[in-house]
Amino acid sequence: MHIIESGNVAAAHGVKLARAQVIAAYPITPQTPLTEKLSEFVEAGEMKAQYIPVESEHSALSVCIAASSTGARAFTATSANGLLYMVEQLHWAAGARLPIVMCVVNRGIGAPWTVWNDHQDAMSQRDAGWIQIYCADHQQIIDTVIQAYYLAETVSIPVMVCYDGYILSHTYMPFELTDPEKIDAFLPPYKPAYALDPANPANLNTVTLPDIRPDIRGQMAPGYMEIRHDLHVDLRRAIDVTADIDKKFSVAFGRGGNPFLEPYRCDDAEFVAVCLGSLSYHLRDVVDALRKEGIAVGVAGVRLYRPFPDQAVINLLVGRKAAIVFEKALSYGNQGALYGDIKAALYPCADRPLVHNYILGLGGREIQTAHLLDSLRTSCRTPDAIGDKPVWLGLKM
């Protein structure tokens, strides 16, 4: 069945279909309609879940940590400064290896205050130990939420499902609602290897010594460094797990097939534009226009951002003349974060392309098609003339 609804409602349906058991909610624009919709599902008896309104975003993730520690499937959502208010618990959830799923409805960070879209919120937490997946339309939102639970529960690492505030969260477009029975066959109930039980009290995540030491059973237990090593190794393993889950989902539902990067007109492209989120679909119109001018250009939207799919980036970009990275965030005092990741992935390759960086759309600044056309045309026609410093599009100074 297809319906026409907002991106936030698409996400809520994904959470419902995944049969989340605990939902922690605190309002923040533009995420609020998502948790509001979930409250309607719970109140109407359409979801068998505990809906817990809390006093802050920090508390919201704390509730999810507690619920997940008992073996429940937990969910929350946030945006911008709300995500930053969770920072302590973001690291706790990842270090505790809890398979929480959280939607981050991307919005710029204050100060100064803005309620409009960019990617600086999620980008600022790219090294918190969470998996990050970006969506470009409503169908990807609902499908990714469902797959995120499968992924999180397979590797025991929490997942952020990121999508653009307003551009996706509040706009309406059609998406398919899959039968719950088919989702149940795809996503089995969560059965953790260990969960807190009142009948068997335990302490979790107490102070860890720098070195390995015997546990209460006399067996050698990892120290802090080994625990961090294991998280990193499993994050890297999550790349292959993401591909496997996407393949299973594609077989079951006929959607997906691009778990790492979603290419458009890249087969014969000499130049490839790269970006996150809905901007990749905006760039498709630009690519079509430049193709009519005889410029062999394509676009690729990055879906999986953390762990970074470096081999997929190499496979797509090596041998091209240039990769042009457009991003709605930056690593302050350095360069665009996605730009830096792509350069690092390509560095060992002999036939690596030139890489350009454009910063745009911060704080909801309008991204004009004319600006995209001009910048992409310039990068393709004179790739050697673009240096290593980020070029700011739409800056009015």
> Which among 226, 210, 252, 233 has a CA at the least distance from the CA of 156?
233
Provide the pLDDT for residue 344. Answer: 98
Answer with the one of 186, 207, 230 that is the final residue of a domain: 186
Is the domain of 174 the same as that of 288? Answer: no
The CATH number for 46's domain is 3.40.50.970
> Which among 16, 212, 208, 218 has a CA at the least distance from the CA of 103?
16
Domain span at 346: 262-392
- Which helix (H) or strand (E) segment holds residue 274: the answer is strand 271-276
Is the domain of 154 the same as that of 272? Answer: no
Provide the pLDDT for residue 273. Answer: 98
Q: Is the pTM of the predicted complex or chain greater than 0.95?
A: yes
Is the domain of 175 the same as that of 31? Answer: yes
Provide the pLDDT for residue 309. Answer: 98
Over residues 15-23, mean pLDDT: 98
State the burial class of residue 4 (Cβ atoms within 10 Å of its Cβ: 0-12, 13-18, 19+): exposed
Distance of alpha carbon 90 from alpha carbon 108, whole angstroms: 19
Answer with the one of 138, 170, 186 that is the final residue of a domain: 186
Q: Which two tokens stand for residue 271?
A: 């130049």
Distance of alpha carbon 76 from alpha carbon 96, whole angstroms: 17
Residue 144 Cα to chain centre, angstroms: 9
In a domain? residue 206:
no
> Which among 7, 27, 29, 25 has a CA at the least distance from the CA of 110?
29
For 334-386, the pLDDT digits (tens) are: 999 999 999 999 999 999 999 999 999 999 999 999 999 999 999 999 988 88
- Mean residue pLDDT of the chain comes to 96
In a domain? residue 64:
yes
For 126-147, the pLDDT digits (tens) are: 999 999 999 999 999 999 999 9
5: which residues sit within 8 A by CB, 6+ positions away? 13, 138, 172, 175
Provide the pLDDT for residue 57. Answer: 98
CB-CB contact of 10 with 169 (8 Å): no
Judged against a pLDDT cut of 90, whether residue 1 lies above it is answered with: no
Number of domains in the chain: 2
Residue type, 80: A
In a domain? residue 313:
yes
